[in-house]
Amino acid sequence: MSLYLEQRLENQLKITPQLIIANEVLAMSSAELEQAVAQEVEQNPVLEVIEHERCPLCGNPIRGSHCPYCAGRKPPHAETWEPEGWNYQDYRTAAWDEEDDDPISRVPSSTTLAEYLTWQIRPALAAEDHPIAQFLIDSLDSHGYLTVSPGEVAAHLGVTPDRVQKVIAELQRLDPPGIGAAGPQEALLIQLRRMREDGKPRPLAEAIISQWELFLKQQVHTLARALNVTEQAIRDEYAFIKANLNAKPAHAHWALGEARPASDTVYIRPDIAIRRRPAPDTGFEVEVLPGRSFTLRIAPEYKRLAEELETKNDPSCEQAKEQLKEYMSRGKLFIRCVNQRWQTLQMIGDWLVNYQAEFLENGERSIKPITRAELAEQIGVHESTVSRAVANKYALLPNGRVIPLADFFDESLAVKDVLLEIIQHEERPLSDQELAKRLAQRGYPIARRTVAKYRQELGILPARLRCS
């Protein structure tokens, strides 16, 4: 038997407490991160949060009078916040408790759509019109449409229809855009009117939607002739409408169950916001939420105290010195992990919006195939890092929709979109096998079982049950 020594170099990942904390922070949603920050600040006296003025809807810093990410309005100043006759205490929540000085807890984590609309509209109205506004908000359905006419509201409240109409007009100026419309057509036209007022008119889109029946049937040739434009111009405008407008405005930022009223709808907190670059630039840019809505730092007074204790040789100060050193070390680690989470999400978001720009412009059919492993290789991180960063997180799109971040990796979205279109225009219910053939003709060759799976995920019944 012979013995020999061999020298080898091996790369091994060492699991350290720092890595565990970093992974935990990376996997947190924006709401979970805020809770973690609040808890850490409470437990560690050397940490402090510097709050920036934030949008009550998405939690992002407000610049000017509107949030640049979700169009949420800036809260009115204190002196104009409470109109005469409005009982402010009736509409307060724990998130606005004056005695609570924790900036993280002041961000609403479960604001309903009705509460958000009430918060926006009351300062804009005279006190005597508040009951009209509240009645209208309570009359919104799960899509954000009004379910009552001005005449019905006027009769119920004993006011004039003109007065009700003025409050409806104010309601339709609120966010999300299109809220308070009588139906999907008006919701889309309200959004286009908002764009026109912002200096970004789409006259062809307005003309197309005004031809509602032709628009719904996607009669491209007939629309082109009626509006004296090319068929390609009509198709381009369809793509714009699909990518940038929302026919169901209450679904833009709010998680909805089946037939739930606005008072029960709960806001989904996005983790990143994607918006168009301001003209003359093109493309999209990403903001991680709520990464820059507050600054987390070591309090300056504790930094000075640590420096003072270091210069003292008094044995009685040793225990305090060690305790402070532990707090400082723990605080710096937590700040580093929060910043690393922000940098990782920013890097992933920047890469995705560049790669999936056509998806953002034109909708699901333009999504490009990409896996988490491929993205990890592109940005130079481990696949597990991308998986943790993406899991259970949401993106706010330029059109106001909030989607899972995982959708950027889901190439089945394009197939599902075409499948939905085929079923919506079928003359008779098509079997899954027939749907597979139609999809193959459109350039999406998939198996019948896959068709059945996608159909079920879309909530569509099989052919034999679609007959009725």
Chain centroid to CA 86: how far? 31
Please give the Cα distance from 281 to 399 (Å, whole number). Answer: 18
Please give the Cα distance from 55 to 218 (Å, whole number). Answer: 38
Q: Shortest CA distance to 360 belongs to which of 396, 323, 331?
A: 396
> In the prediction, which pLDDT does 15 show?
53
Give every CB contact of residue 275 below 8 A, 6+ residues apart in sequence: 68, 69, 284, 285, 287, 398
Mean pLDDT of 97-112: 38
The secondary structure element, H or E, covering residue 402 is strand 402-404
Where along the chain do its domains lie?
Answer: 17-48+284-309+318-409, 412-466
Q: Shortest CA distance to 26 belongs to which of 371, 341, 242?
A: 341
- DSSP lists the bridge partners of residue 61 as 54
The model's pLDDT over 333-361, given as tens digits with 9 standing for 90+, comes to 888 888 888 899 999 999 999 998 888 88
> In the prediction, which pLDDT does 110 show?
47
- Percentage of the residues of the chain whose pLDDT score is greater than 70: 78
Residue 25 has pLDDT above 90, yes or no: no
Please give the Cα distance from 125 to 78 (Å, whole number). Answer: 16
CA atoms within 13 A on the CB side of 254: 32
- DSSP lists the bridge partners of residue 288 as 272
Which of the two residues, 396 and 102, has the higher pLDDT score? 396
On average, the pLDDT of the chain sits at: 77
> In the prediction, which pLDDT does 108 show?
39
The model's pLDDT over 158-188, given as tens digits with 9 standing for 90+, comes to 889 899 999 999 999 887 888 899 888 999 9
> In the prediction, which pLDDT does 168 show?
92
How confident is residue 78, by pLDDT bands cut at 50, 70 and 90?
very low
How confident is residue 14, by pLDDT bands cut at 50, 70 and 90?
low
Please give the Cα distance from 355 to 370 (Å, whole number). Answer: 9
> In the prediction, which pLDDT does 349 show?
93
> In the prediction, which pLDDT does 258 show?
38
The model's pLDDT over 315-333, given as tens digits with 9 standing for 90+, comes to 767 777 788 888 888 888 8
> In the prediction, which pLDDT does 16 show?
62
Residue 103 has pLDDT above 50, yes or no: no
How confident is residue 27, by pLDDT bands cut at 50, 70 and 90?
confident
Backbone angles phi, psi at 250, to 5 degrees: -70, -15
Question: Which range has the worst mean pLDDT, 36-50, 66-80, 151-165?
Answer: 66-80
The secondary structure element, H or E, covering residue 337 is helix 318-355
Which of the two residues, 83 and 110, has the higher pLDDT score? 110
What is the third-level CATH fold of 412-466?
Answer: Arc Repressor Mutant, subunit A (1.10.10)
The model's pLDDT over 367-382, given as tens digits with 9 standing for 90+, comes to 888 888 899 999 998 8
The model's pLDDT over 222-248, given as tens digits with 9 standing for 90+, comes to 999 999 999 899 988 888 888 778 888
The model's pLDDT over 115-151, given as tens digits with 9 standing for 90+, comes to 778 888 887 888 888 888 988 988 888 788 888 888 8
Give every CB contact of residue 158 below 8 A, 6+ residues apart in sequence: none
> In the prediction, which pLDDT does 6 show?
56
- Percentage of the residues of the chain whose pLDDT score is greater than 90: 11
Q: Shortest CA distance to 185 belongs to which of 262, 246, 256?
A: 246
> In the prediction, which pLDDT does 87 show?
30
Mean pLDDT of 269-295: 77
By three-state DSSP, how is residue 70 classified?
Answer: coil
How confident is residue 397, by pLDDT bands cut at 50, 70 and 90?
confident
Question: Of how many residues is the chain composed?
Answer: 468
Residue 75 has pLDDT above 50, yes or no: no
> In the prediction, which pLDDT does 224 show?
92
> In the prediction, which pLDDT does 10 show?
53
